[in-house]
């Protein structure tokens, strides 16, 4: 079968306009007061106060009747205090007028409002009605908007591109899309593009026939064929070697694969979901990622927010991870940390706290250099002294022996696993290949473990 030539190059702006649903960004504020929790969309001018005639009515006696006004101009969104009794504060600074950004917190009297934004394609304000979407948990406005967007597009066959910092839940989002799609009975196949050696990429994706290269001792099915009838999740798509990019594009367009060493094209029916922590548009502009492939993959761009943008979800996530209610101590310990490694770091922390107690977990966290960086780069190797401290037998004195053996074992396996990996990595100057060799693990698996433990 003749190969299909790639489409003619397009400009980034033109392609963006033609391939993305035309989203409109709307600013919203959320707050809770004596009357409960509220979300309101901001108009060109919105009056805020405790008077019933205000656009945003706050049920709080410390808020003046006509307290402040939100308004837009060509430079953005502003809040202006209207001479209120108790003042208007932005990020705890008292202001007469200030420009706001998404995520800003605005305090009026005793009530704090949080500014968010939502992307809509139809002018409506989509909010998922529940605090869960498949395996995903989140009750904040940003997460419920995300869930509504996932629900809307999961039922289509459009390619989806999930962007977000490391640990924000991109893989879980991909799984949620698959589970909510008509393909849910089909396979869900993950390819971690960061963990596949360049020379094996083609075989990994499209398979090979026996004898295609020296180590090809038998026919092997690639990820696309394995996912036939289901979804292929291409994780860390930004790591796809440039030489592979036209090959992937051809497969997406022809919907056929040709295993390495074969002349036969095989038809495959897969939906593509990919994820990246990098901004692929910057990579396109730098020539490191093909623009035509980018637009083919980014049919629906999905942005997963970092945890710091929805800290109100932390208690819900903590209880989800624990599988039960959390102690006040644990909730306090998790409330005000930066969580640069996002939900993954929170999960590791909670699992450690379950094993050793919240205080000890806090101590261990402060011994480690904190946070997976937003850029997704690995953090510096922990020192041997630190790793030794984390296995101090004194930890045992903090462990709960009230739990079941199974729970105890699972918690200590996590702690032990992390300890083992950090030591092996340190011994091999953080070479994943060398560490995997010594550990007797597959390099891909080693890579996953390292990311899982934020090492």
Ligand X SMILES: Nc1ncnc2c1ncn2[C@@H]1O[C@H](COP(=O)(O)OP(=O)(O)OP(=O)(O)O)[C@@H](O)[C@H]1O
- Binding-site ranges for ligand X (CB under 6 A): 136-138, 164, 166-172, 277, 317, 320, 343-344, 347, 451
| Number of neighbouring beta carbons within 10 Å of residue 50 | 20
Cα–Cα nearest to 411, from 398, 426, 429: 398
> Using only C-alpha atoms, what is the Rg of the chain?
25
CB of 326 to ligand X, least distance (A): 14
CB of 43 to ligand X, least distance (A): 31
Q: Which is nearer to ligand X, 19 or 378 (CB)?
A: 378
Q: Which is nearer to ligand X, 293 or 316 (CB)?
A: 316
CB of 454 to ligand X, least distance (A): 8
Cα–Cα nearest to 227, from 197, 275, 266: 266
Q: Which is nearer to ligand X, 64 or 348 (CB)?
A: 348
Q: Which is nearer to ligand X, 373 or 400 (CB)?
A: 373
Collapsing DSSP to helix, strand or coil, 163 comes out as: strand
Q: Which is nearer to ligand X, 108 or 148 (CB)?
A: 148
Which tokens in the block code for residue 111?
């009530």
Q: How far is CA 266 from the centre of its chain?
A: 34
CB of 444 to ligand X, least distance (A): 13
Which tokens in the block code for residue 380?
């510096």
CB of 436 to ligand X, least distance (A): 18
CB of 192 to ligand X, least distance (A): 8
Task: Determine the Cα–Cα distance for residues 87 and 83; give it in Å rounded to an integer.
Answer: 7
Q: Which is nearer to ligand X, 218 or 380 (CB)?
A: 380
Which tokens in the block code for residue 157?
């066959």
Give the DSSP letter of residue 119.
E
CB of 84 to ligand X, least distance (A): 37
Cα–Cα nearest to 428, from 410, 441, 414, 412: 441
| Number of neighbouring beta carbons within 10 Å of residue 374 | 17
CB of 379 to ligand X, least distance (A): 12
Q: Which is nearer to ligand X, 116 or 169 (CB)?
A: 169
Task: Determine the Cα–Cα distance for residues 157 and 252; give it in Å rounded to an integer.
Answer: 12
Provide the β-strand partners of residue 80: 69, 97
Contact 195, 443 (CB under 8 A): yes
CB of 319 to ligand X, least distance (A): 11
Q: Which is nearer to ligand X, 209 or 378 (CB)?
A: 378
Q: Which residue has the tokens 């919105």?
A: 46
CB of 348 to ligand X, least distance (A): 9
Task: Determine the Cα–Cα distance for residues 188 and 271; give it in Å rounded to an integer.
Answer: 10
- Sign of the torsion formed by the C-alpha atoms of 233, 237, 239 and 243: positive
Dihedrals phi, psi of 119, to nearest 5 degrees? -100, 130
Q: Which is nearer to ligand X, 118 or 192 (CB)?
A: 192
E-only strand ranges, 363-442: none
Nearest residue relative to ligand X (C-beta)? 169
Q: Which is nearer to ligand X, 172 or 399 (CB)?
A: 172
Task: Determine the Cα–Cα distance for residues 400 and 235; give it in Å rounded to an integer.
Answer: 37
314-322 vs 342-356: helix crossing angle, rounded to 10: 50
């Amino acid at each position: 079968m003749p190969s299909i030539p790639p489409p003619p190059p397009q400009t980034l702006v033109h392609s963006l306009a033609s391939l993305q649903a035309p989203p409109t960004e709307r600013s919203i504020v959320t707050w809770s007061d004596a009357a409960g929790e509220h979300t309101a969309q901001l108009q060109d001018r919105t009056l805020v106060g405790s008077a019933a005639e205000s656009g945003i009515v706050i049920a709080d006696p410390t808020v003046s009747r006509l307290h402040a006004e939100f308004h837009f101009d060509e430079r953005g969104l502003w809040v202006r205090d209207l001479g209120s009794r108790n003042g208007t504060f932005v990020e705890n600074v008292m202001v007469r007028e200030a420009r706001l950004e998404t995520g800003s917190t605005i305090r009026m009297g005793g009530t704090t409002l949080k500014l968010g934004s939502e992307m809509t394609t139809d002018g409506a304000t989509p909010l998922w009605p529940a605090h869960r979407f498949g395996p995903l948990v989140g009750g904040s406005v940003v997460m419920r908007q995300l869930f509504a967007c996932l629900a809307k597009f999961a039922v289509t066959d459009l390619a989806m591109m999930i962007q977000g910092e490391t640990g924000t839940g991109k893989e879980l989002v991909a799984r949620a899309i698959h589970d909510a799609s008509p393909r849910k009975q089909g396979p869900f196949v993950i390819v971690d593009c960061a963990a596949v050696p360049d020379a094996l990429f083609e075989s990994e994706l499209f398979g090979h026939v026996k004898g295609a290269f020296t180590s090809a001792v038998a026919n092997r099915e690639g990820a696309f064929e394995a996912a036939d009838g289901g979804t292929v999740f291409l994780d860390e798509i930004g790591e796809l070697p440039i030489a592979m990019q036209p090959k992937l594009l051809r497969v997406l367009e022809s919907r056929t694969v040709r295993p390495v060493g074969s002349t036969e094209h095989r038809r495959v029916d897969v939906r593509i979901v990919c994820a990246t922590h990098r901004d692929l548009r910057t990579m396109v502009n730098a020539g490191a990622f093909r623009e035509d492939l980018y637009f083919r993959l980014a049919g629906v761009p999905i942005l997963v927010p970092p945890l710091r943008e929805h800290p109100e979800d932390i208690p819900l996530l903590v209880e989800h991870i624990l599988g039960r209610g959390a102690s006040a101590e644990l909730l306090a310990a998790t409330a005000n940390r930066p969580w640069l490694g996002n939900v993954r770091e929170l999960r590791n922390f909670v699992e450690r706290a379950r094993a050793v107690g919240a205080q000890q977990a806090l101590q261990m966290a402060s011994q480690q250099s904190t946070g997976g960086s937003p850029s997704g780069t690995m953090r510096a190797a922990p020192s041997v002294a630190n790793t030794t401290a984390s296995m101090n037998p004194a930890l045992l004195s903090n462990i709960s022996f009230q739990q079941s053996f199974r729970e105890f074992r699972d918690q200590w396996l996590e702690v032990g696993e992390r300890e083992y990996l950090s030591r092996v990595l340190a011994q091999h100057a953080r070479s994943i290949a060398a560490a995997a060799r010594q550990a007797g693990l597959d390099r891909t698996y080693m890579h996953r473990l390292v990311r899982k433990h934020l090492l």
